[in-house]
Structure 1
Amino acid sequence: MQIRHPVASLAATIVITLILLAIGAVLFGYSGVYDVSASSKDNPMIAWMLHSTYEASLHHHAGNDVPPGDLMSLKNIEAGAHFYDSTCAACHGVPGKPLSFIGQGIQPAAPALLAATRRNNPKLMFWVIKHGINMTAMPSFGKTQTDKTIWQTAAFLYDARGITQQGYETLVHGSK
């Protein structure tokens, strides 16, 4: 009679369980059962997992870029406001106006970047704008825009948290 060591049995059980979970995940992925359409809401567990992965990845990869010394100058904030209005507003919205039909169709929804509750850390915003977010509608603007433009947009997003409709219009179009 052979006596099995409890640690070896536990290790074998864990390995077999992980293999079965991996096989199950692959079968589920190829089954087509999960609805990936943008017109349906994400499963809360999947949404939580993806958002947690996004947060961890963002904090792991972002923050090493050095902002310009004059980042929060009015000139940079205004330039960032112009870029935001022409490029970002369709998905992320502007104060006092309904979200565009493009923004309404994005799943998961793009965050309201000008909300007063946002932190919009410029280094994190710079990284997101420059590199984009995989499997969302957030493109990588680093492929088409200069770092200067991206920093200006990050400055605007940080400065404009909670901005009013009038304040937004003034930054974008100047005082009338």
Structure 2
Amino acid sequence: MASDRTRLILKTAIYTLLAAGGIGAAAGYTVYQVGWYNIGANTQHLQLTYTVLEQAMHNSVRHHAKTVVVPSLGDTGQVLRGGALYREHCAQCHGGPGFAPSAHGQSMQPVPGPLVDAAERWKPRELYWITRHGIKMSGMPAWEARLNEPDTWAVVAFLNRLPKLDASAYRAMTAAAVTPATDNAQTSAVTATNATGGAVLRGDAGRGKKILAQYACQSCHKVPGVTGSDVDVGRPLDGLARRPVIAGKLAPTQDNLMAWIRNPQAIEPRSAMPNMGVTERDALDISAYLLSK
């Protein structure tokens, strides 16, 4: 008798939970389909949404950064280099002591937090990981394609110093000119074969797939293996190696594709494709990936 009653209670609880889950899913789908949720950046997230996403971000960064090996930090030249890079790449959104973020930084949602106390909240390896990889759905970009390894650590070194700076010290430490960095990283000699089964491609195709997203290629083109919106500004980039020509006039070789990626107007002055400032190494890896698809 008691066991029958227990089974009835359990069955009722299960059916209740299933019904509640179904109602919740139906309600969520209705909100999604009808468009009731306001995605405008001039309205705030619900506090619960913000809290959950922020905690998930913290947990993710700490998990992925735990294997990062931290080099020696704090050399004066390194810190000054990091300060100049911070001014060029970070201050527009995050500001600094006595320095307000720019208008677009102030108007983002979620608002980019100040970094004056970042070193007190994050370990150096975590600051490195965030700077290099960025944060999805927050506006924080990945600087992997723009800052080499020494420069990324220079920014971290400056962030470690930032909590101790007042407004005048901040201005002094960020006043240096930013000189171009030399990226001495090596690329793999061979990593892919042309999609037609022909020439072996130079460069690192795996890195090319990752790095082309840092140049926003998917904002105009459908790129095989890369997620993005359904766009048709530029032609889809699948099957490049099988086309008779690329850019309307060039044979589909790796050198030609690299030249087109790096300076489209030098090949076709009327092209709407902008010069994205792609480095030679990045163009090599991107071309290796695209020609292997």
Name the TM-score class by shorter chain: 0.7 to 0.9
1:127-176 residue CA offsets vs partner (Å, 9 max, x unmatched): 111111111110011133212211111111122114111211221226xx
Match of 1:160 in 2: 162
For the pair 1:33 / 2:57, whether they are aligned, the reply is no
Q: Quote how far apart the aligned CAs of 1:118 are.
A: 4.2
> What value does the CA root-mean-square deviation take over the aligned residues?
2.2
Q: Quote how far apart the aligned CAs of 1:110 are.
A: 0.6
> Pick from 111, 114, 139: which aligns with 2:116?
114
Match of 1:65 in 2: 68
Match of 2:149 in 1: 147
SS at match of 1:79: helix
TM alignment of 1:120-131, pairs within 5 A? 120-131=122-133
- Name whichever of 17-26 and 45-54 sits farther off: 17-26
> Pick from 85, 96, 104: which aligns with 2:87?
85
> Pick from 97, 100, 104: which aligns with 2:99?
97
SS at match of 1:23: helix
Q: TM-score, normalised by structure 2?
A: 0.53
Change (3 A) 1:61 1:117: closer
Contact residue 119 and residue 160 of structure 2 kept, 8 A = no
Q: TM-score, normalised by structure 1?
A: 0.85
Match of 1:171 in 2: 173
1:39-63 residue CA offsets vs partner (Å, 9 max, x unmatched): 1122212111221221222222223
Contact residue 116 and residue 162 of structure 1 kept, 8 A = no
Letter in 1 for 2:136: N
Residue identity over aligned pairs, in percent, reads: 26
Change (3 A) 1:144 1:117: closer
Contact residue 115 and residue 162 of structure 1 kept, 8 A = no
TM alignment of 1:12-51, pairs within 5 A? 12-51=15-54
Letter in 1 for 2:86: Y
Larger Rg: 2
Letter in 1 for 2:104: I
Letter in 1 for 2:48: M
Change (3 A) 1:97 1:159: closer
Contact residue 119 and residue 159 of structure 2 kept, 8 A = no
Q: Distance in 2 between matches of 1:95 and 1:62?
A: 27
Q: Quote how far apart the aligned CAs of 1:112 are.
A: 0.6
Structure with higher RCO (Cα < 8 A, 6+ apart): 1
